[in-house]
């Protein structure tokens, strides 16, 4: 799939695919991530399980999840956790 000109539905599909590839790494440590929505180029996720209250949650979110999504999905400008 060409990712240069994705519509909202395709963008969501690609983001969900990436999140599903990341999930096993979080689950291995007792955490997980759920896709919530995309608004104005921001992907909203919910980090759950061991991720809640973990001192490394921002590192996981920004240097892990966000970095991968920004690299792979044009039009996405950030990833935010909804608590």
pLDDT tens by residue, 3-48: 556 788 899 999 999 999 999 999 999 999 999 999 999 999 999 9
Q: Does 3 fall in a domain?
A: no
For the cut 70, the answer to whether the pLDDT of residue 73 exceeds it is yes
Q: Does 46 fall in a domain?
A: yes
Q: Does 66 fall in a domain?
A: yes
Query: 67 is in which domain, residue-wise?
Result: 8-81
Q: Does 42 fall in a domain?
A: yes
Number of neighbouring beta carbons within 10 Å of residue 54: 15
Q: Does 2 fall in a domain?
A: no
Measured distance CA(9)–CA(38) in Å, rounded:
10
Q: What is the CATH number of the domain that holds 17?
A: 3.30.300.130
- For the entire predicted model, the pTM comes to 0.88
Beta partners for residue 35, in sequence order: 45
Q: Does 16 fall in a domain?
A: yes
CA angle, 29 then 33 then 34, to 5°: 155
State how beta strands 42-49 and 78-81 pair.
parallel
**Total of domains in the chain:** 1
Q: Does 45 fall in a domain?
A: yes
Q: Does 1 fall in a domain?
A: no
Q: What is the pLDDT at residue 1?
A: 46
């Amino acid at each position: 799939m060409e990712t240069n000109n994705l519509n909202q539905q395709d963008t969501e599909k690609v983001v969900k695919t990436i999140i599903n590839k990341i999930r096993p790494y979080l689950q291995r440590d007792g955490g997980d991530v759920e896709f919530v929505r995309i608004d104005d180029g921001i992907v909203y996720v919910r980090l759950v399980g061991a991720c809640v209250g973990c001192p490394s949650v921002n590192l996981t979110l920004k240097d892990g999840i966000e970095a991968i999504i920004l690299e792979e999905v044009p039009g996405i400008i950030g990833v935010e956790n909804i608590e």
